[in-house]
Structure 1
Amino acid sequence: MSYQQCNAASRKAQKESGLIETQSPEKLPGILCLTDKCDRPESELFIGLREEGFPIGVMANPDGANFERLNNAGLIVGPIALRNRFDKEGTAAIRNVLETGKYDVVHAFNPRALACALRASRGMSIKVVAYRGVIGNISFLNPESWITFLHPRVDRIVCVADAIRDYLAGLHFLWLHLPPSKLITVYKGHDLEWYQDTPADLQEFGIPEGAFTVCCTGRDVPRKGFDVLVDSLARLPSDVVIHLLLVGDLDRNEPLRQQVQALPHPERVHFTGFRKDAPALAAASDVFVLPSKEREGLPRAVIEAMSYGVAPVVTDVGGMPELVEQGVSGLVVPPNDAQSLSAALLELYRDRERLKQMGQLARRRIATHFHTSQTVAQMGKIYCELTGQN
């Protein structure tokens, strides 16, 4: 049932009970969303809220891939590209939009937007909602945290995974802590219809046709655990032929390249560099691996691979165990454990029927548990509860 239908049913019940006058229309709260170069899930959330009847405006970076689509949908109320958390020009622009009186809630989707929104809404009866997608970097001893997530005027922090919510709930210093009522989990929604790319031809990278291929996508940062993944290949039996496709700026990581060269078969590891077609590369692979060591939220790369029916192997870090059901829609291994990761890859390599089944269940899990319509419904409920307007 949509929010409009919910409103209609509620209005009817209230009219019949005599609690309200029939001529008094019920309205949904106005929402101002502040983002940067927003991705597809964020964009679809904004569009979905508009379709449900919420008066919504978006301020976003005009250089973003989805800016034009949002603008064509009539959602953009102003371009914004915040330089830092103290951007005076950006803060003034946000203030000007809020002063129109159209909005009851401001929802900031990154720390810079949150800091500026808190200053821009000073003295206004505006509810402030924050988005948090990763674990870490928040502390009661960090002054920057006090101008963002720990600011007392933040009414809700929407966490992209329970693991992030639990991390924030566990922050303490003396008597200071975040009230549990401020913290709520809302998974970032997707739609299988978004993932229709034709699987790439991996022979471009020297991978033989039909070869068993493991794909790993990510930024070149130590916490992603690429060294552990390479180490896991060294532990495979000699009769196992697995090719590893490393997608991203890892080609510039010289220590990682040296580690690859020390493998028994370095020719089976392929660096692609940065690619815009990363989902199509994952779709062409047999297994998708994300061996992160810490701080993960709900990784988009894993969701994209699962949406294409590719079985995931992930570490027990952050929100990934919420995304991947161990032994059902993928495999979950301990972080920093090359032997366990190697065993998981070997298991799927040996049992192709189970691999196929896991891929199918991974795709189904995204469709049933992480759909964009669920995100729209949950966020709409949060906005209404905050403002008491529904």
Structure 2
Amino acid sequence: MADVEHTIGLLLGTEDDWPRAYEALLRRLGVIKGPDGRTHRAVSERVTIEPFNLRDKPRHELVIDRLAYWYYHPREWLKKISLMDDVYLLNSPFTFQSMEKHAAYCAMMRLGLKVPETVLVPYKNPLDNSRYAYTAARYNQSFDLEATAAQVGYPMYMKPYDGGAWVGVSKIRNTDELHAAYDASGERLMHLQASVEGYDVFARSLTIGPETMVMKFRPEQPMHSRYEVDHGFLTADVGHEVVTISRLVNAFFRWEFNSCESLVRGTDVHPIDYANACPDVAITSLHYYFPWAMSALLRWTVFCVVTERKPTLDTDTARYFAIGDDPSLSYAEKLTEYRRLTDEYFETARYEEFCDRYLGNVDAIVYDWVTSEEFRSLLRETVRATYPVHEHEKFLGHFGGLIDAWVRDHS
């Protein structure tokens, strides 16, 4: 029987390193046999931005979106192809637009997660809207910022309700810093969120489909050193909880390529940021963990197109809230039930069986690629495009050494 060819679209912004890696691995994977007895080949193409007729039929079966969280024209194209053409999207543009960090906090609080105390405060400066003055004069209640902050407690963070990449985030230790940060917020809508002081570890987990990598994160370090290579920084129980929370967030919001940040203090896991429309997968950030990310992305996207996994635009929040609202369930029991729902959403058992049977060579393909001159050329070009000339040798040695460590650990 003839090969079935599946086209995967890459909707990209400025990044070029991981797309080149993904494209290379797709080529090396080539043709695989599927559960339907036919042979399948997945190919990728970079999506261009141009006028589109709402009745146009797309070429793509799946699109990896890394752009539409800030560029609205392609976001509307994603909505069109998902609503009208059933194109599979790893991240729902609908929930990322409406369920930003604020809504994500609200939902996860209801589910019983240990989200720090959080308050939303009104805009500091009037909005540029002719109706604002009348509405504010009639309905806006005056409030005491210091008293509101006291309810949260110092130290705390002020951060945009919908922000990303740490933009606009300030640590607040006293009333002077509180007023300075609020004055600087302007027309941005801000949260005040309690700080988790004395935490033991900052865990950042990257989840792609039903696969999760939990990494030790050091936000105070420059980007090239933030992910520390450490395989034993969490206990088994805490690690299981971090993974469960990460996958819970993703299944709940229909996000399948997303990162979650949690602060671990003792045995308590406090998720603090888990709505990331464009999670960091740069080789100069992930380094050691970059091959895993590419392996997971390859496996999940191929699984989705070959098995014709159906997109689910509708969210089934009632099933999750029924668990969260049940007073007879302990926190641990709720986590167990959430994990069951996430495994059901991601078809975890079916995915694992598919990978074992049809994608068992992916790890070897990735290893061969990482040890090839093609990969080293990509690394050199990325470093030269990212850092000034006088730092090229330093960072080539830095990232080369980390990749060499991954090669030794996987040989």
Q: TM-score, normalised by structure 1?
A: 0.30
Greater relative contact order (Cα < 8 A, sep 6+): 2
From the two aligned structures, give the one with the greater helix fraction: 2
